[in-house]
């Protein structure tokens, strides 16, 4: 089966449109095989003859199978018991299960079979009707069709299984191939876009712009550093500024020494606390709390006195 072509392509190329339509309608079958009308007619005739032969064979097999089980499945009111042996012998004879030398012995049984044909036919028809009813129920359990409609439904099922479903599967396979092509095309576009983004980021204009900007900033920083050094060497700072810097340095040195002394004293106090133990620490905390309470009480009395003086 040829893939579909965009109508705009066919409109722009009329010669190709004629060729495409000729291939689709005359040269190729729907399944993509080459069309040969003469051979197809021969194949159709052979297929019809084969179907007719198979139908006759199956009908014969069904009649023989039903006839062989007729004595065991029929009621005595429909089929007399004295015909059971006759039916079984006749069925064996029809299936070529009796030797040629023994067939003359069965002539009386065959005569009885032929003379009771109406009774046997009625029982056989009843048995076949029961089987057909079962087939109708199997074909559609929810809404069984009538026995007369069973051949039509069987033909529809056969056509669906041999023609409609294969055609639908072929169409779905074709649609799946087109979908796979579209997915692969989209995947290719995604890969191309990813490669372009990576090129622009790592080796493209974005990366070059970022690198150039970083180099520019580095150059400006280097220039400012050099200008500061030149300014320092060519224009020494004033004496007052140098004196202030020295005073600041001395002040920072004294502050640093005082901080180091406080650090040493804090470490010693911490060591004493650790040596005193938990009980001593609780006692110190209790005394500290008592002293805070006394201080607050004293401050309260002082504020009261000051308020009274006012």
- Residue ranges of domains in the chain: 36-154, 172-231
Q: pLDDT band for position 1 (50/70/90)? A: low
Q: What is the pLDDT of residues 153-206, one digit of tens each?
A: 888 888 888 878 888 887 888 888 888 888 998 999 999 888 877 777 766 666
**Cα separations in angstroms, 93 against 53, 70, 108:** 22, 16, 13
Contact 35, 28 (CB under 8 A): yes
- C-alpha dihedral sign at 279, 285, 291, 296: negative
Contact 106, 98 (CB under 8 A): yes
Contact 30, 167 (CB under 8 A): yes
Tell me, what's the pLDDT at 310?
A: 44
**How many angstroms from the chain centroid is the CA of residue 242?**
79
Q: What is the pLDDT of residues 105-161, one digit of tens each?
A: 777 877 888 888 888 888 888 888 888 888 888 877 888 888 888 788 888 888 888
pTM: 0.41
């Amino acid at each position: 089966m040829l893939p579909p072509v965009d109508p705009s392509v066919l409109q722009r190329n009329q010669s190709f449109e004629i060729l495409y339509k000729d291939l689709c309608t005359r040269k190729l079958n729907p399944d993509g095989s080459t069309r040969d009308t003469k051979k197809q007619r021969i194949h159709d005739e052979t297929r019809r003859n084969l179907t007719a032969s198979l139908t006759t064979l199956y009908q014969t097999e069904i009649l023989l199978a039903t006839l062989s089980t007729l004595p065991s499945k029929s009621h005595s009111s429909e089929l007399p018991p004295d015909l059971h042996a006759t039916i079984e012998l006749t069925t064996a004879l029809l299936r070529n299960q009796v030797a040629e030398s023994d067939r003359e012995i069965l002539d009386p049984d065959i005569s009885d079979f032929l003379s009771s044909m109406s009774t046997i036919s009625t029982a056989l028809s009843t048995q076949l009707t029961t089987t057909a009813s079962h087939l109708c129920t199997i074909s559609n359990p929810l809404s069984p069709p009538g026995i007369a409609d069973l051949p039509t439904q069987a033909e529809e099922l056969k056509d669906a299984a041999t023609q409609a479903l294969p055609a639908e599967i072929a169409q779905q396979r074709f649609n799946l191939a087109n979908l796979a092509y579209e997915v692969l095309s989209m995947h290719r576009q995604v890969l191309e876009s990813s490669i372009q983004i990576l090129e622009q980021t790592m080796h493209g204009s974005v990366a070059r712009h970022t690198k150039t900007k970083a180099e520019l900033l580095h150059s400006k920083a280097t220039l400012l550093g050099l200008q500061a050094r030149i300014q320092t060497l060519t224009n020494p700072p004033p004496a007052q500024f140098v004196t202030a810097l020295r005073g600041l340095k001395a002040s920072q040195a004294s502050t640093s020494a005082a901080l180091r002394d406080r650090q040493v004293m804090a470490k010693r106090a911490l060591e004493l606390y650790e040596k005193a133990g938990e009980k001593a620490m609780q006692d110190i905390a209790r005394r500290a709390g008592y002293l805070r309470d006394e201080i607050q009480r004293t401050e309260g009395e002082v504020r009261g006195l000051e308020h009274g003086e006012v």
